[in-house]
Amino acid sequence: MNILYFLVGCSLFMALVFLLAFFWASKTGQHEDTCTPAIRMLLDDELKKTDEDQVQD
Amino acid sequence: MKTPDPTTTSCYHCGEETDGRTLRSDGKTFCCQGCQSVYEILRSNELCSYYTYNAAPGKNRQSSEIPAYLADARIAATLLDYQDDHLSKVTFFVPGIHCSSCIWLLEGLHRLNPGILHSRTDFLKREVKISFDHRVVNLKEVADTLAAVGYPPLINLQDVVRENHSKTDDTLVRKIAVAGFCVGNVMLFSFPEYFGLSPFEGNLKVLFSYLNLALSIPVVFYCGRDFFTSALAGIRQAKMNLDAPLALIISTLFLRTLFEVVFQTGPGFADTLTGLVFLLLMGRYTRQRSYRHLSFNRDYRSYFPLAVTTINEGAERVTAVSDLQTGDRIRIRSGELVPADALLLQGAACLDMSFVTGESAPVTRSSGTVIYAGARQTAGPIELEILKPVQLSYLMSLWNDAGEPANGKSRSFNDRIAAAFSLVVVTLAVGAAAFWYAAGDQAKAWSAFTAVIIVACPCVLALSTPFTLSAVLSVFDKWGFYLKNTDAAEQLANCNEVVFDKTGTLTTSKGRRVNFSMSLTMGERQLLTALAACSLHPVSRQLCREAAFLKLIPVEDYKEVPGRGISGTVAGHQVCIGNADWVFGADDQSAGTHLLIDGAYKGSFSFSADWREGIAKLAAALAETAGIHVLSGDTAKDRQTLKKILPPGTRMRFGASPHAKLDYIASLQQAGRKVIMLGDGLNDAGALRQSDFGIAVTEDVNAFSPGCHAIMKADALAYLPRFAGLASDAMRIIKWSFVISSLYNCLGLYFAVQGTLYPLVAAVLMPLSTLTIVIFTSTAVRICAAKRRLSL
């Protein structure tokens, strides 16, 4: 059963990693605006030279 | 992909009907010069994708002048979020943001102006964060870039004094995360104990109990710290709050766990302890829930400019409003606001005093008179000498006079019950301990004492209020009624007087409807509107607003004499608008505003109040349970109309200054009444703040509204009686959940007084009772809402 000591340590460590990841996310403001990114991902980043043609179609 | 067909007569940019007069460019039609110029800018910068995401994305196009003072580095610095030797960051509030095209364009600003490095939009808050190189562009040029594409930022004094809410919010979230982490792990380490460990596993048992103890240390000393500080603060002020018994329980749980683990007499209560703190923090989070895109703490600064032009020995310079000193000379141009009480030195003042008095008709003042802060000049430039600094001016004293925000005044149901609750618990605990001590069983006395305190946990009580009220809040916001926080809902339930402001609350915010004494043709109205558009006089602006759908025609030979009238040549016609004296020449004193087109008299026009629909019904419904009052800054001209609309017994007061409104509310409160105030403008701000529940009524919830407890969409006004009813239902639900939680407490006490409370019982009882309450409150609120026809 000695393996349990190791596993307990592992599980605590993993949970700590997730906790720290959450801290990092909240510190970098990833929870601040939850609405705009959802819209932003639908927009094209790169500008196409043919924008005008598309409009006229 | 929807794109408007260029052959139709709607504007390619804003989608409005072009009404025959079209401007053409690239085979696309535009309704006006403004729309066309935005299109030209976008096309020359290859930003036409703007039109592909939405049809007519420019429908919110606004045009407004960016104040020149932004070019001044000192003034600009007050607005910046961050600055180093080359990079500046600024956050602008852009009211025009409304669709994904807006986001796309505003995040591509760097293509329009090479000085702009990066921009990010916050859609809900309608904010754009912009990073720019201030060696290449200044703040004014950045704002001008926004204005050029139809998204002018709104800049006012409040932006300088930005409140920082996000910080406190963040620590709470972090505490919940830590508590959640600990409670999860503690649960895992407690399971073996519940299921029973074989004697070989004694070492594991010791390890788990120490791990549990270690995990509960951050929960008590980091996550739970607020309960201790708040309880201590309450005791110091001799006001017991709900945090006092909670702090007692947390410390009892922790001490008992510590003893049991160190002396290996039992497994301890780490699971109950961490679970309790986690749930309590969740309750706090629910209570703090707020609308991040709405602001409830605005004051006069939202309406005031950042800077004004001062004159020093003949030279004009820009001075920040907050730096104005007594004796400074300032120059106010047409359309600008007088920022502080001042003496008029030069020029004809024709002032719109609606901020100060609520009276919308303009007043003329001659030099030598005192002009109060908040007056807006509508004629030519004037020069004034400052008499008082901004903060000490007449209008600002509203914020100093109003009492403490009403939330602090009355104690919530929870706090009132907390004192009685603590007393009962402590008595029971001491009683149980004394009984076992007398019976000679010291160990049991100690365990019974702690067990009673643990089991009598008012956890459910602490959770039922935030959960119930937050369910109520989410019903409200579906119907266009946004409360500042859950405490405000409790205030709403207790009110028994309703005070209405007249202009903008009982009437629509446009306020007036124009009535012509003689009927005019469409063409004639067009001429009038074109002429009126040249003037900033409130009557002219009203006339323009009435005819917003008409397109403007250029005016020649424009002439304006403040206080008398305006004239000009529109499309070859001589048009004249003004008082009798102006239109007919001297000696005629008949009232009203008269019209003359090409020398022919076209009658006069006047404005009548445009009452909101359903006011009579609303007032009648409210009168069943509360007293109705009307407070108006206007003259008594609408008294008779109001008497017909409102139920008998309505008290009305006209000509009330902002301070008089505040005093009126205060006098009602002194008579022991709880007051709801409904208002819309800066002149109601003092009264809104003083009242027990201030509601700002607005057409657009994102627009600036004065500081208040709640913001209400104008069309939700008719539901106010239902909202108030639901709030009092909620208070009843909270009392019922108190009964339910007491049942659980009694069950736990049965074990506790016998000194046989096993940790598993405590650990099961607590989440079970919490779950019951969460389900009970949310279902009950839904049922009550459906009964009041406010279903989600």
What is the token pair recorded at B725?
């009813």
Q: Could you tell me the CA-to-CA distances from B435 to B228, B363, B457, B755 in Å, in that order?
A: 30, 82, 21, 11
From the list B48, B107, B178, which residue is nearest A55 (CB)? Answer: B48
Compute φ and ψ for B125, nearest 5 degrees: -80, -10
Measured in angstroms, the CA of A54 and the nearest CA of chain B are apart by 8
From the list B103, B174, B181, which residue is nearest A43 (CB)? Answer: B103
Task: Give the H/E segment covering residue B511.
Answer: strand B507-516
Q: Which of B276, B256, B291 has the alpha carbon at shortest distance from B443?
A: B256
Mutation for testing the B interface, residue in A36, A47, A56 having most B CBs under 10 Å? A36
Measured in angstroms, the CA of A19 and the nearest CA of chain B are apart by 7
- Residue B141's DSSP bridge partners are none
Mutation for testing the B interface, residue in A3, A43, A49 having most B CBs under 10 Å? A43
pLDDT number for residue A50: 46
Measured in angstroms, the CA of A38 and the nearest CA of chain B are apart by 10
Q: Do A44 and B211 count as a contact with CB atoms less than 8 A apart? A: no
Q: Do A39 and B207 count as a contact with CB atoms less than 8 A apart? A: no
Q: Do B122 and A54 count as a contact with CB atoms less than 8 A apart? A: no
From the list A32, A39, A49, which residue is nearest B100 (CB)? Answer: A39
Contacts of A3 (CB under 8 A, 6+ apart): none
Q: Which residues of A touch B188 (CB under 8 A)?
A: 11
Q: Do B49 and A42 count as a contact with CB atoms less than 8 A apart? A: no
Q: Does B110 touch chain A (CB under 8 A)?
A: no
pLDDT number for residue B654: 85
Helix ranges, B67-197 (H): 73-79, 100-106, 109-112, 139-148, 166-195
- Burial bucket for residue B86 (CB in 10 Å: 0-12, 13-18, 19+): exposed
What is the token pair recorded at B145?
């870039």
Measured between alpha carbons, how far is B281 from B646 in angstroms, rounded to an integer? 46
Pairing of β B481-483 and β B370-371: unpaired
Q: Does B136 touch chain A (CB under 8 A)?
A: no
Measured in angstroms, the CA of B459 and the nearest CA of chain A are apart by 26
Mean pLDDT for back-to-back runs of 10 residues, chain B (792 residues): 51 74 74 82 84 80 77 81 86 84 87 88 86 88 88 75 54 92 92 76 85 94 92 84 86 92 87 91 82 71 80 81 84 83 84 71 80 81 86 74 50 75 86 87 83 80 86 88 85 88 75 69 78 72 64 73 77 81 64 77 74 84 87 79 84 84 89 88 81 85 74 87 91 89 84 77 82 90 90 72
CATH class of segment(s) B509-611:
alpha beta
Mutation for testing the A interface, residue in B49, B126, B197 having most A CBs under 10 Å? B49
Beta strands in B613-765 (DSSP E): 627-631, 651-653, 675-679, 693-698, 710-713
The ipTM of this complex is: 0.82
pLDDT number for residue B411: 62
For chain A, give the percent of residues with pLDDT over 70. 75
What is the token pair recorded at B551?
């397109």
Q: Do B123 and A49 count as a contact with CB atoms less than 8 A apart? A: no
From the list B124, B125, B170, which residue is nearest A26 (CB)? Answer: B170
Domain ranges of chain B: 1-61, 68-159, 167-288, 305-395, 479-508+612-727, 509-611
What does the radius of gyration of chain A's CA atoms come to, in whole angstroms? 23
- Residue B513's DSSP bridge partners are B608
**Cβ(B374)–Cβ(B337) below 8 Å:** yes
Q: Do B103 and A49 count as a contact with CB atoms less than 8 A apart? A: no
Contacts of B662 (CB under 8 A, 6+ apart): B398, B401, B402, B686, B687, B689, B690
Q: Which of B473, B365, B548, B394 has the alpha carbon at shortest distance from B711?
A: B473
Q: Does B177 touch chain A (CB under 8 A)?
A: yes
Count CB neighbours of B518 within 10 A.
11
Q: Could you tell me the CA-to-CA distances from B132 to B40, B83, B84, B139, B142 in Å, in that order?
A: 24, 10, 11, 9, 8
Rounding to the nearest 10 degrees, give the CA dihedral for residues B417, B420, B425, B428: -150
Give residue B668's Cα distance to chain centre.
Answer: 25
> C-alpha angle B768/B770/B772, rounded to 5°?
70
Domain ranges of chain A: 1-28
Rounding to the nearest 10 degrees, give the CA dihedral for residues B371, B373, B377, B381: 70
A14-23 residue pLDDT tens: 999 999 999 9
Helix ranges, A1-57 (H): 3-27, 36-40, 51-56
Q: Which residues of B touch A41 (CB under 8 A)?
A: none
Q: Does A30 touch chain B (CB under 8 A)?
A: no
A:B CB pairs within 8 Å = 77
Rounding to the nearest 10 degrees, give the CA dihedral for residues B685, B688, B691, B693: -160
pLDDT number for residue B212: 93
Burial B381-414 (b: 16+ CB within 10 A, else e): ebbbebbbbbeebbbbbbeeebeeebbeeeebbb
pLDDT number for residue B549: 52
Task: Give the H/E segment covering residue B281.
Answer: helix B270-288
Which CATH code for domain B68-159? 3.30.70.100
Mutation for testing the B interface, residue in A33, A48, A49, A57 having most B CBs under 10 Å? A33
What is the token pair recorded at B164?
């920082």
Q: Which of B45, B41, B4, B145 has the alpha carbon at shortest distance from A49?
A: B45
Q: Which of B533, B548, B547, B545 has the alpha carbon at shortest distance from B509?
A: B545
Dihedral-angle region of residue B557 (phi above 0 means left; psi in -120 to 50 means alpha; beta otherwise): left
Q: Could you tell me the CA-to-CA distances from B123 to A33, B158, B602 in Å, in that order?
A: 8, 20, 48
Measured in angstroms, the CA of A52 and the nearest CA of chain B are apart by 7
What is the token pair recorded at B446?
């100690």
From the list B52, B123, B184, which residue is nearest A55 (CB)? Answer: B52
Name residue B72's amino acid: D
Q: Which residues of A touch B204 (CB under 8 A)?
A: 1, 4
pLDDT number for residue B286: 85
Q: Do A47 and B47 count as a contact with CB atoms less than 8 A apart? A: yes
Using a CB cutoff of 8 Å and minimum separation of 24, what contacts does B614-621 make?
A: B614/B717, B614/B718, B615/B506, B615/B645, B615/B646, B616/B645, B616/B646, B617/B718, B618/B717, B618/B718, B618/B720, B618/B721, B619/B645, B619/B646, B619/B647, B619/B650, B620/B647, B621/B721
Count CB neighbours of B54 within 10 A.
19
Q: Does B598 touch chain A (CB under 8 A)?
A: no
Measured between alpha carbons, how far is B242 from B195 in angstroms, rounded to an integer? 35
From the list A18, A31, A51, which residue is nearest B46 (CB)? Answer: A51
Measured in angstroms, the CA of B6 and the nearest CA of chain A are apart by 9
Chain B window 203-242: which residues touch A at a Cβ cutoff of 8 Å? Answer: 204, 207, 211
Q: What residue in B sits closest to A26 (Cα-Cα)?
A: B170
Burial B558-583 (b: 16+ CB within 10 A, else e): eebebbebbbbbbeeeebbbbbbbbb
Q: What residue in B sits closest to A16 (Cα-Cα)?
A: B181
Q: Do A47 and B46 count as a contact with CB atoms less than 8 A apart? A: yes
Measured between alpha carbons, how far is B628 from B742 in angstroms, rounded to an integer? 40
pLDDT number for residue B217: 95
Measured between alpha carbons, how far is B620 from B83 in angstroms, rounded to an integer? 57
Measured in angstroms, the CA of A39 and the nearest CA of chain B are apart by 7
Beta strands in B598-708 (DSSP E): 600-611, 627-631, 651-653, 675-679, 693-698
What is the token pair recorded at B448?
């019974």
CATH class of segment(s) B479-508+612-727:
alpha beta
Compute φ and ψ for B73, nearest 5 degrees: -65, -35
Q: Which of B83, B151, B87, B74 has the alpha carbon at shortest distance from B115?
A: B87
Q: Does B201 touch chain A (CB under 8 A)?
A: yes
From the list A12, A15, A43, which residue is nearest B104 (CB)? Answer: A43
Q: Does A39 touch chain B (CB under 8 A)?
A: yes
What is the token pair recorded at B126?
């309608």
**Helices B413-438 and B459-478 meet at what angle, rounded to 10?**
160
Beta strands in B545-599 (DSSP E): 555-561, 565-570, 573-578, 593-597
pLDDT number for residue A20: 95
Measured between alpha carbons, how far is B104 from B424 in angstroms, rounded to an integer? 62
Q: Which residues of B touch A33 (CB under 8 A)?
A: 122-125
Measured in angstroms, the CA of B67 and the nearest CA of chain A are apart by 29
**Cβ(B254)–Cβ(B273) below 8 Å:** yes
Q: Does B169 touch chain A (CB under 8 A)?
A: no
- Select from 3.40.50.2000, 3.10.20.740, 2.60.120.10, 2.70.150.10 the CATH code of B305-395: 2.70.150.10
Q: Which of B622, B591, B623 has the alpha carbon at shortest distance from B607?
A: B591
Q: Which residues of A touch B111 (CB under 8 A)?
A: 47
